[in-house]
Copies of this chain bind each other. A is one copy, B any other.
């Protein structure tokens, strides 16, 4: 397959982009959970296919985080933080943040610290899930006492924000954007977002509300990622809001894929996913079609069960 063809993200052989309508798409791949996207080594920072864009971006975020969380004293802090961060299942939110930054004309290094912070937030939320319910025990491994996990989770969010706040040193006179990104992330973590989702989750368990709640959590993380990437990349207010909504729909799709109650049936799930994908793609319509490949490639990825 020539690389120009590979550059168009495809679901089951049908390219999404040339039409920006999805009525002629089917999505059997999305139903085969877990759909684990192969993470293969590549030195090519310019993505040429959906998998390699995600791969290369995630590798850069990993490298950034590995440098930021060295295994060094105090070992009681950094060893479990290192482990819990890298052992946590993936999310596409950090890559979405980078893609949004690039889509509005920014360089990915401008959003790298924010992407790392999002990764830490996600890992901290999973650690909290782990403590609350034990249900991620097998996913992230159980190498530390739950007290240590609790404390490490508590430290991971501030540490991510520290990385973001410090990234001001690299790009001068960028502090307004970084402060705004911090507001977005703290809101998503706190009053408006993931904690709220968790509260409901904690109250309702796997009730009828659980898919809505999980969708809210995934949606919150991804809409924050889209907005933050656009802010840091210097997007206009309109672009920021479009990418916030794009992230909302992408995250909602992932929430549906990860938490769909089986008894509801696949046809109903497909309908919901179709609606969300339509809404997501509409948000990309204002952007140059040649530049939306990378970010739209994240639509079909589900790490939720990886």
Report which A residues bind B (CB closer than 8 A).
74, 76-78, 81, 124, 128, 131-132, 145, 147-148, 150-159, 161-162, 165-166, 168, 175-176, 178-180, 182-183, 185-187, 189-191, 195-196, 198-200, 202-203
As for how many copies of this chain the complex holds, the number is: 2
Query: Whose C-beta in chain B lies nearest to the C-beta of A189?
Result: B158
Q: Are B175 and A162 in contact (CB under 8 A)?
A: no
Cα-based distance from A237 to B218 in the complex (angstroms): 42
Q: Are B151 and A128 in contact (CB under 8 A)?
A: yes
Nearest 5 CB-CB pairs, A to B? A158-B190, A155-B195, A162-B186, A158-B189, A158-B186
In the complex, chain B residues whose CB is within 8 Å of the CB of A150: 128, 131-132, 150
* Main secondary structure on A side of the interface with B: helix
Among A81, A154, A156, find the residue whose CB has the most chain B CB atoms closer than 10 A: A154
Cα-based distance from A166 to B156 in the complex (angstroms): 22
Cα-based distance from A202 to B74 in the complex (angstroms): 14
| 17 CB-based A-B contacts, threshold 8 Å | A74-B191, A74-B196, A77-B196, A81-B191, A128-B154, A131-B150, A148-B202, A151-B202, A153-B154, A154-B198, A158-B185, A158-B189, A158-B190, A159-B190, A162-B191, A175-B175, A182-B182
Q: Are B186 and A159 in contact (CB under 8 A)?
A: yes
Add 9 more A-B contacts to A154-B198, A158-B186, A162-B182 (CB < 8 A).
A77-B195, A81-B191, A128-B150, A154-B154, A158-B187, A158-B195, A162-B183, A175-B175, A175-B176
Cα-based distance from A298 to B105 in the complex (angstroms): 51
In the complex, chain B residues whose CB is within 8 Å of the CB of A162: 182-183, 186-187, 190-191
Q: Are A74 and B199 in contact (CB under 8 A)?
A: yes
Q: Are B78 and A191 in contact (CB under 8 A)?
A: yes
Partner of A166, one of B157, B183, B185: B183
A200 with B76, Cβ < 8 A, contacts A154-B154, A154-B195, A175-B176 known: yes
